């Protein structure tokens, strides 16, 4: 745009897999004429236009808002979730982060809780199941009191907001050496535990959500912190610490099983 | 007050038990190291310490406690490792660290742990169940553990292996120490950096401390 | 068939209409609610809040979305905030003022009674969201913070950083998931609506395609609710998500639902300009930027100097010049149109010359870099990420982009379309924003419809209608499914040479050129004939790879583009038949002496409601006359 754009050629190594039950493989393509001002996904659009013209199957990947907020896009790019830039989703990644003749390896999120549906599209419904287990306040419409009836310290409100910024993309799971979903799960537990509206059920919530997470086949957190480092929304590890506390309290102090 | 039945099987429960047993082992390691420092004061001081320790009937209780902590730590580590492997059946072709998260220590916990397991077994065979010499201190016959120690460390290869294992211990605990606190929910933007430094200093302390003892013993020959 | 456009506005003074109506609404007793089932299409603020609330009440809800999770609906991308008449800042706001501002902001093309109800329930939305744990911004005392938005004279906008839409959506999503956990909502993700099934004149089900397996499924219910969003993607480039589409609403239109005011589109003034042909979507930046940024272009045409090298006296701060009292804070439609005027006059900036500057230099000098960073840091970062230019160092380049569609399926006061049992909520309906939507009002409307309106009016529908028992073996299901399958096969069998995106881009160009920010009779007629031509090319030269029984993204796109190729024509027709300027719809022929939009209330104070007559048949234009009893009709002026 500002005259800084270049046209480059990239070599792509893509994971192709027909569906959930077939085996996948890597396929190589060379794509010419990529503008460094394009986004990474626009580069893949360009690839797909080319593939369709050549009567080849287009490459399937998830994406929707293309402005870094819906959490639909994924992709392990050269071994890093959402690519090399910090706090960036794949849709916000631009081709200026790459050089002419670069080889780019594109893989799906790898986790037994995220089965591959096709190519690099994965099934992340296990995240929804974690939320359904307790990631809410049990308030029905009509129950609410006036919004200003309970003051909330700005510090806690801000911390809750930082945790709530999670977009549920799954990069934490993908980048975790153990494929653990602790950062995702803890962001919600933490957000709601920080607010008086969520405190009522904080222990039960921590207990239920962690149980659901464990059952879904995610790995165990061992504090590598790769999740935090690759999170496009900079969700903090202190959410995991808070969850550990809430969970312990739930398990130790609750008089009910 | 009671612990829910599924606490131990949950990911966090396992981790918290691993953390607490790890912390127990850290405590044991420190006391062991302080005992080892008596090597520098000569055979009598060291042997008296060893004798006092082993002749106390409570030692059996302590050994059972220590042994179960170790086993629990080990078994939980093995279970989580297996689960973590199952959580990602197909690995990445090009996995690359961000450089902002995982460390050499965190990535190698299983390996350093295995080295330590081997070390502990050898260590027990050598020193607990190994050669028994006797010596007399103030008219009392005691085991001359000092002699056994000096004997083993006369072999430079043994010293190298020992120091290697201690480096593994340092690496293992450098991640383990701060990980323990995180697992127990002790994380705070103000204090966590300090905790990380303390963990690192502790790791250096045990590695250097034990290795120094080994090298000192080698030099006694 | 003639449309029944009875708006069913309740009796009584406007303040009492909703209360009266709620009292008169038939109730369904709690034991009977579990006997009713409801299909909700879409999981954004409207669909999500409706699904959650109806499930809480005890109805059996089936919820459908095209994404992999309800949490991805495009409501999530709204940045600025949500309005409510709480008057916490004590600055003179009230339900009445919010009502008044919304009717006026909509340029007198909305239904007064609906807008008043929206303002009335706005406060409950904030209460509900706070109870859900939505982390709205707070001040140091712990109370909720408010800001002024989009030129409003009061501070009535609640916000959660620059991610208000995300937080409100996650609140609704979490409420939904609570009901999913209880088994009151069955969730169907990665499903696309292929048809609405109408039995005995009532909406009774949907035909959907499972986007993973390609299976065609039939779902039956006692009522169908559409919360499927707007159709801004007809322009190809818009701020909508890639998957946002008008499909479900369009299928409803073809099944007999009236489509109202399709030409009312909102073009948002502060978006990042188009950079090239490979561009797939446009990114909006919150219009709060205009609170501190100054819009300008060089006075000289084709001035190629770096913006920092253009001296003050050679810059034209045109908004401040033309609108001295509102300056850079004029409403969206005015700001957008003026940017277009500057570009058309050859004063556009940047490499493509299709942009204007938004400059923060003076604000940084006045308040300091830190203060500006605290307010706009995340937006500046986003801008730099996309353009590789720092707004701290040089002015941003901005240009308007399609953002929201005020038009949509016609609904009465009960949010029911002209098809009984088919209710339409949020952006998918047409009711509350008239010809132009005010900032921070979309979130308010979506949630008002879902949390507070439909739970009452749907009960009334069930309470007043005898619904025969039907199941998915009904011949109407056979027919709908057959047609849907045939259409999919047809896409695959064309085996032409152009991709769906290629057609979509061509359509987008026609729409932006002729049905964009300024419209005129000749252009609209050209658009209609060009779209018809493009549509016939589409059906003869489309190329779709793959099969129907697998993940086939191109096939999905084909269906959406096919709908857009029909919808675009209707938009052009609607624009053609409204030779007045109002809100987002600017007809070049209808201007004041000062080149401002000229509304023609004597002839056009009505909603145009279109009735489908066949794809290549002319649709029929019906009218719902609008009466302004409480907000007197005046010409907007921001001078």
pLDDT tens profile C480-536: 999 999 999 999 999 999 999 999 999 999 999 999 999 999 999 999 999 999 999
DSSP assignment letter at C73: S
Taking every pair of Cα atoms in chain A, the longest distance, rounded to a whole number of angstroms, is: 67
Query: Does A1 map to a domain?
Result: no
In angstroms, the CA C463 to CA C350 distance is 60
The string of pLDDT tens digits covering residues A99-130 is 999 999 999 999 999 999 999 999 999 999 99
First-to-last C-alpha distance (Å) of chain C: 47
| CB-neighbour burial class of residue C471 (10 A; exposed 0-12, middle 13-18, buried 19+) | exposed
Picking from C634, C104, C638, C636, the residue whose alpha carbon sits closest to that of residue C325 is: C638
Q: Which residues of A touch C180 (CB under 8 A)?
A: 128, 132
> Which domain covers residue C503, as residue numbers?
475-625
HSE-CB at C246 with a 13 A cutoff on CA atoms is 29
Domain tally, chain C:
2
The string of pLDDT tens digits covering residues C315-343 is 999 999 999 988 998 888 889 999 999 99
Rg (CA), chain C: 24
Interface probe with C: pick from A34, A42, A67, most Cβ of C within 10 Å: A67
Tell me what pLDDT residue C251 has. 98
B190 CB within 8 Å of a chain A CB: no
Answer whether B185 sits within 8 Å of A245, measured CB to CB: yes
CA dihedral for C86, C90, C91, C94, sign (positive or negative): positive
- C388 in the same domain as C485: no
pLDDT of C92 higher than 70: yes
In angstroms, the CA C176 to CA A80 distance is 33
A115 CB within 8 Å of a chain C CB: no
- Work out the mean pLDDT of chain B and round it to a whole number: 93
Picking from C634, C583, C258, the residue whose alpha carbon sits closest to that of residue C441 is: C583
pLDDT of A257 higher than 60: no
Q: How confident is the model at residue A238 (pLDDT cuts 50, 70, 90)?
A: very high
Question: Residue A88 corresponds to which tokens in the numbers above?
Answer: 């960036």
Residue linked to tokens 């493509």: C352
In angstroms, the CA C87 to CA C84 distance is 8
Residues near C406 by beta carbon (within 8 Å), at least 6 away in sequence: C106, C261, C264, C265, C266, C430, C433, C434, C435, C436, C437, C583, C584
**Would you call B216 helix, strand, or coil by DSSP?**
helix
The string of pLDDT tens digits covering residues B6-55 is 898 999 999 999 999 999 999 999 999 999 999 999 999 999 999 999 99
pLDDT of C1 higher than 70: no
Tell me what pLDDT residue C128 has. 98
Angle at CA of residue B20, ends A246 and B109, nearest 5° = 105
Residues near C341 by beta carbon (within 8 Å), at least 6 away in sequence: none
Query: Does A2 map to a domain?
Result: no
**Choice among C117, C191, C332, C337 that is catalytic:** C332
Q: Which residues of C touch A117 (CB under 8 A)?
A: 212, 551
Query: Does C70 map to a domain?
Result: no
Tell me what pLDDT residue B4 has. 66
Partners of residue A104 on adjacent β-strands? A12
In angstroms, the CA C19 to CA C14 distance is 10
- A107 in the same domain as A134: no
Question: Residue B200 corresponds to which tokens in the numbers above?
Answer: 């690192």
In angstroms, the CA C305 to CA C286 distance is 28
Mean pLDDT of the A198-221 span: 96
- C482 in the same domain as C567: yes
- A180 in the same domain as A66: no
Tell me what pLDDT residue B1 has. 40
C368: CATH: 3.90.700.10
B16 CB within 8 Å of a chain A CB: yes
A166: CATH: 1.10.1060.10
Q: Is C332 a catalytic residue?
A: yes
**Would you call C257 helix, strand, or coil by DSSP?**
coil
B136: CATH: 1.20.1300.10
Picking from B132, B27, B130, B128, the residue whose alpha carbon sits closest to that of residue B69 is: B27
Domain tally, chain B:
1
Domain tally, chain A:
2
Tell me what pLDDT residue C275 has. 86
Q: CA of A109: how far to CAs of A115, A170, C330, in Å?
A: 9, 8, 46
Query: Does C459 map to a domain?
Result: no
Query: Does C465 map to a domain?
Result: no
Residue C554 has φ and ψ, to the nearest 5°, of: -65, -35
Q: CA of B68: how far to CAs of B19, B58, C171, C340, C479, in Å?
A: 14, 16, 46, 77, 70
- Whether A239 and B108 have beta carbons less than 8 Å apart is answered as no
Kind plus residue range of the DSSP H or E element containing C506: helix C500-514
Q: How confident is the model at residue C151 (pLDDT cuts 50, 70, 90)?
A: confident
Question: Residue C36 corresponds to which tokens in the numbers above?
Answer: 């009713």
Query: Does B100 map to a domain?
Result: no
In angstroms, the CA C394 to CA A61 distance is 36
Query: Does B98 map to a domain?
Result: no
- Whether C83 and C98 have beta carbons less than 8 Å apart is answered as yes
DSSP assignment letter at C185: E
**A250 to chain C, closest Cα gap in Å:** 20
In angstroms, the CA C45 to CA C164 distance is 11
Answer whether A255 sits within 8 Å of B2, measured CB to CB: yes
- Whether C86 and C123 have beta carbons less than 8 Å apart is answered as yes
A255 CB within 8 Å of a chain C CB: no
**C115 to chain A, closest Cα gap in Å:** 21
Mean pLDDT of the C125-130 span: 98
In angstroms, the CA C551 to CA A60 distance is 8
Picking from C512, C529, C636, C618, the residue whose alpha carbon sits closest to that of residue C581 is: C636
**C372 to chain A, closest Cα gap in Å:** 19
Query: Does A206 map to a domain?
Result: yes
Residue linked to tokens 């602790």: A182
- A219 in the same domain as A153: yes
C588: CATH: 1.20.58.100
Residues near C278 by beta carbon (within 8 Å), at least 6 away in sequence: A35, A38, A42, A43, A45, A46
In angstroms, the CA A66 to CA A45 distance is 12
Query: Does B94 map to a domain?
Result: no
- C504 in the same domain as C389: no
Angle at CA of residue B100, ends B98 and B103, nearest 5° = 90
In angstroms, the CA C609 to CA C111 distance is 14
Residue linked to tokens 């938009």: C571
Structural domain ending residue among the three candidates A96, A117, A138: A117
Tell me what pLDDT residue C375 has. 83
- A150 in the same domain as A59: no
pLDDT of C363 higher than 70: yes
Tell me what pLDDT residue C319 has. 96
Give me the helices (H) in C160-294, please. Answer: 164-182, 247-254
- C610 in the same domain as C504: yes
Tell me what pLDDT residue B74 has. 97
Tell me what pLDDT residue A1 has. 41
Tell me what pLDDT residue A2 has. 47
Query: Does A72 map to a domain?
Result: yes
For residue C127, give the nearest of A121, A145, A161 by CB distance: A145
> Is the backbone of residue C387 left (phi > 0), alpha (psi -120 to 50) or beta?
alpha
Query: Does A73 map to a domain?
Result: yes
Q: How confident is the model at residue C266 (pLDDT cuts 50, 70, 90)?
A: very high
Tell me what pLDDT residue C4 has. 87
The string of pLDDT tens digits covering residues A210-228 is 999 999 999 999 999 999 9
**Would you call A105 helix, strand, or coil by DSSP?**
strand
Structural domain ending residue among the three candidates C369, C402, C435: C402
DSSP assignment letter at C614: -
Residues near C203 by beta carbon (within 8 Å), at least 6 away in sequence: C196, C197, C223, C224, C252, C255, C419, C420, C421, C422
In angstroms, the CA C436 to CA C446 distance is 16
Written in H, E and C, the secondary structure of C580-599 is CCECCECECCCECCCCCECC
| CB-neighbour burial class of residue A219 (10 A; exposed 0-12, middle 13-18, buried 19+) | buried
Q: CA of A62: how far to CAs of A74, C120, C569, in Å?
A: 7, 40, 30
Tell me what pLDDT residue B138 has. 87
| Touching chains C and A? (3+ Cβ pairs < 8 A) | yes
For residue A251, give the nearest of B7, B99, B179 by CB distance: B7
A141 CB within 8 Å of a chain C CB: yes
The string of pLDDT tens digits covering residues B98-145 is 999 999 999 999 999 999 999 999 999 999 888 889 998 888 899 999
Answer whether C136 sits within 8 Å of A157, measured CB to CB: yes
What residues 169-208 of chain A have any CB closer than 8 A to a CB of chain C? Answer: 191-192, 195, 197-198
- A143 in the same domain as A26: no
Alpha-carbon torsion angle C136, C282, C501, C534, nearest 10: 110
Answer whether B11 sits within 8 Å of A210, measured CB to CB: yes
- C620 in the same domain as C491: yes
DSSP assignment letter at C312: G
Give me the helices (H) in chain B, please. Answer: 11-36, 43-55, 58-87, 104-107, 109-123, 145-152, 156-183, 192-220
Structural domain ending residue among the three candidates C381, C402, C423: C402
DSSP assignment letter at A183: H
Residues near C622 by beta carbon (within 8 Å), at least 6 away in sequence: C3, C5, C258, C608, C609, C610, C611
A211 CB within 8 Å of a chain C CB: no
Question: Residue C499 corresponds to which tokens in the numbers above?
Answer: 């991709």
pLDDT of B208 higher than 90: yes
- Whether A74 and A99 have beta carbons less than 8 Å apart is answered as no
Structural domain ending residue among the three candidates C374, C402, C430: C402
Kind plus residue range of the DSSP H or E element containing C607: strand C606-611
- Whether C409 and C211 have beta carbons less than 8 Å apart is answered as no
Picking from C166, C191, C181, C223, the residue whose alpha carbon sits closest to that of residue C50 is: C223
| CB-neighbour burial class of residue A254 (10 A; exposed 0-12, middle 13-18, buried 19+) | middle
> Which domain covers residue B140, as residue numbers?
11-79+107-220
Query: Does B175 map to a domain?
Result: yes
Picking from A52, A71, A73, the residue whose alpha carbon sits closest to that of residue A62 is: A73
- Whether C524 and C586 have beta carbons less than 8 Å apart is answered as no
Tell me what pLDDT residue B3 has. 59
Query: Does A65 map to a domain?
Result: yes
> Which domain covers residue A52, as residue numbers?
7-117
- Work out the mean pLDDT of chain C and round it to a whole number: 95
Q: How confident is the model at residue C261 (pLDDT cuts 50, 70, 90)?
A: very high
Picking from C470, C436, C546, the residue whose alpha carbon sits closest to that of residue C221 is: C470
Residues near C186 by beta carbon (within 8 Å), at least 6 away in sequence: C60, C61, C62, C63, C180
- A104 in the same domain as A166: no
Query: Does C522 map to a domain?
Result: yes
Residues near B23 by beta carbon (within 8 Å), at least 6 away in sequence: B180
């Amino acid at each position: 745009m500002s005259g800084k754009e270049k046209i480059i050629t990239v070599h792509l190594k893509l994971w192709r897999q027909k569906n959930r039950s077939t085996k996948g493989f890597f396929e190589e393509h060379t794509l010419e004429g990529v503008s460094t001002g394009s986004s990474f996904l626009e580069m893949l659009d360009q690839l797909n236009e080319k593939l369709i013209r050549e009567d080849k199957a287009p490459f399937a990947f998830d994406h929707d808002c293309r402005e870094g907020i819906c959490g639909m896009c994924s992709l392990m790019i050269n071994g890093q979730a959402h690519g090399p830039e910090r706090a960036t989703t794949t849709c916000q990644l631009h081709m200026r982060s790459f050089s002419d003749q670069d080889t780019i390896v594109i893989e799906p999120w790898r986790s037994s809780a995220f089965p591959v549906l096709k190519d690099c599209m994965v099934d992340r419904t296990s995240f929804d199941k974690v939320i359904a287990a307790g990631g809410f306040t049990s308030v029905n419409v009509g129950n609410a009191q006036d919004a200003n009836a309970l003051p909330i310290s700005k510090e806690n409100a801000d911390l809750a907001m930082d945790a709530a910024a999670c977009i549920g993309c799954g990069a934490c799971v993908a980048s975790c050496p153990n494929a653990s979903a602790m950062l995702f799960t803890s962001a919600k537990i933490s957000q709601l535990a920080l607010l008086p509206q969520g405190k009522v059920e904080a222990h039960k919530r921590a207990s239920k959500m962690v149980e659901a997470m464990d059952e879904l086949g995610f790995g165990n957190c061992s504090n590598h912190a790769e999740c935090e480092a690759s999170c496009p929304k900079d969700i903090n590890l202190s959410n995991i610490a808070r969850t550990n506390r809430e969970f312990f309290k739930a398990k130790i102090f609750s008089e009910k099983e | 007050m009671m612990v829910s039945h599924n606490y131990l099987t949950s990911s966090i429960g396992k981790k918290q038990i691993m953390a607490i047993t790890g912390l127990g082992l850290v405590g044991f390691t420190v006391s062991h190291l302080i005992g080892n420092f008596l090597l520098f004061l000569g055979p009598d001081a060291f042997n008296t310490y060893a004798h006092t320790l082993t002749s106390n009937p409570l030692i059996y209780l302590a050994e059972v406690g220590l042994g179960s902590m170790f086993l629990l730590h080990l078994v939980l580590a093995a279970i989580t490792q297996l689960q973590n492997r199952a959580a990602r059946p197909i690995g990445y072709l090009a996995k690359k660290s961000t450089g902002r998260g995982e460390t050499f220590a965190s990535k190698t916990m299983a390996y350093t742990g295995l080295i330590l397991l081997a070390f502990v077994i050898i260590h027990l065979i050598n020193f607990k169940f190994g050669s028994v010499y006797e010596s007399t201190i103030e008219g009392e016959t005691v085991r001359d553990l000092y002699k056994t120690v000096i004997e083993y460390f006369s072999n430079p290869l043994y010293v190298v292996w020992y120091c290697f294992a201690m480096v593994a211990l340092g690496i293992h605990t450098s991640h383990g120490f701060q990980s323990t606190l995180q697992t127990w929910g002790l994380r705070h933007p103000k204090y966590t950096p300090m905790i990380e430094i303390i963990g690192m200093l502790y790791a250096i302390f045990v590695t250097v401390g034990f290795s120094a003892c080994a090298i000192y013993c080698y030099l006694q020959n | 068939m003639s449309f029944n456009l009875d708006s069913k506005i309740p009796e009584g003074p406007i303040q009492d209409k909703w209360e009266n109506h709620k009292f008169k609404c038939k109730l369904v007793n709690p034991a009977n609610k579990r006997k009713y089932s409801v299909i909700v299409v879409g999981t954004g603020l409207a669909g999500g809040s409706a699904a959650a609330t109806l499930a809480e009440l005890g109805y059996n809800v089936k919820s459908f979305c095209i994404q992999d999770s309800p949490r991805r609906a495009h409501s999530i991308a709204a940045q600025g905030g949500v309005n409510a008449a709480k008057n916490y800042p004590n600055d003179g706001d009230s339900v009445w003022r919010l009502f008044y501002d919304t009717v006026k902001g909509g340029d007198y093309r909305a239904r007064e009674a609906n807008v008043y109800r929206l303002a009335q329930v706005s406060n409950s939305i904030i209460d509900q969201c706070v109870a859900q744990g939505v982390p709205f911004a707070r001040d140091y005392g712990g109370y909720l913070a408010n800001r002024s938005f989009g030129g409003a004279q009061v501070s009535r906008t609640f916000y959660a950083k620059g991610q208000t839409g995300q937080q409100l959506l996650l609140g609704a999503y979490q409420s939904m998931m609570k009901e999913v956990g209880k088994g009151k909502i069955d969730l169907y993700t990665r499903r696309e609506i292929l048809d609405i099934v109408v039995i005995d004149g009532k909406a009774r089900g949907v035909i959907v395609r499972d986007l993973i397996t390609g299976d065609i499924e039939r779902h039956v219910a006692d009522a169908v609710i559409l919360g499927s969003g707007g159709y801004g993607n007809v322009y190809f480039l818009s701020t909508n998500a890639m998957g946002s589409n008008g499909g479900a609403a369009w299928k409803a239109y073809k099944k007999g639902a009236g489509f109202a005011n399709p030409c009312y589109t909102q073009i948002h003034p502060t978006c990042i300009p188009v950079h090239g042909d490979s561009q797939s979507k446009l990114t909006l930046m919150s219009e709060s930027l205009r609170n501190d940024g100054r819009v300008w272009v060089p006075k000289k045409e084709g001035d190629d100097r770096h913006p920092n090298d253009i001296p003050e006296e050679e810059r034209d701060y045109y908004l401040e010049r033309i609108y001295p009292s509102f300056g850079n804070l004029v409403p969206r439609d005015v700001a957008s149109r003026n940017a277009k005027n500057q570009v058309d006059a050859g004063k556009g900036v940047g490499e493509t010359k299709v942009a204007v500057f938004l400059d923060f230099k003076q604000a940084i000098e006045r308040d300091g870099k830190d203060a500006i960073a605290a307010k706009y840091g995340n937006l500046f970062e986003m801008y730099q990420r996309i353009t590789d230019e720092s707004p701290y160092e040089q002015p941003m380049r901005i240009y308007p982009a399609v953002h929201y569609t005020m038009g949509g399926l016609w609904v009465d006061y009960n949010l029911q379309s002209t098809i009984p049992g088919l209710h339409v909520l949020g952006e998918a309906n047409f009711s509350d924003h008239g010809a132009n939507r005010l900032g921070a009002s979309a979130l308010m409307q979506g949630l008002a419809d879902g949390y507070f309106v439909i739970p009452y009016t749907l009960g009334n529908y069930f309470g007043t209608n005898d619904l025969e028992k039907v199941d998915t073996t009904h011949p109407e299901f056979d027919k709908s499914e057959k047609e849907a399958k045939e259409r999919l096969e047809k896409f695959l069998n064309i085996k032409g040479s152009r991709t769906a995106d290629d057609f979509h881009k061509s359509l987008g160009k026609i729409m932006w050129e002729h049905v964009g920010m300024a419209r005129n009779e000749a252009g609209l007629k050209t658009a209609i004939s060009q779209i018809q031509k493009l549509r016939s090319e589409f059906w003869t030269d489309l190329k779709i790879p793959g099969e129907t029984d697998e993940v086939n993204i191109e096939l999905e796109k084909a269906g959406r583009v096919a709908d857009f190729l029909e919808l675009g024509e209707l938009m052009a027709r609607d624009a053609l038949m409204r030779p007045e300027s109002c809100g987002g719809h600017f007809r070049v022929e209808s201007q004041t002496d000062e080149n401002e939009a000229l509304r023609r209330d004597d002839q056009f104070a009505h909603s145009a409601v279109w009735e489908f007559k066949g794809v290549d048949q002319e649709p029929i234009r019906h009218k719902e006359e609008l009466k302004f009893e409480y907000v007197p009709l005046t010409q907007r002026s921001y001078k």
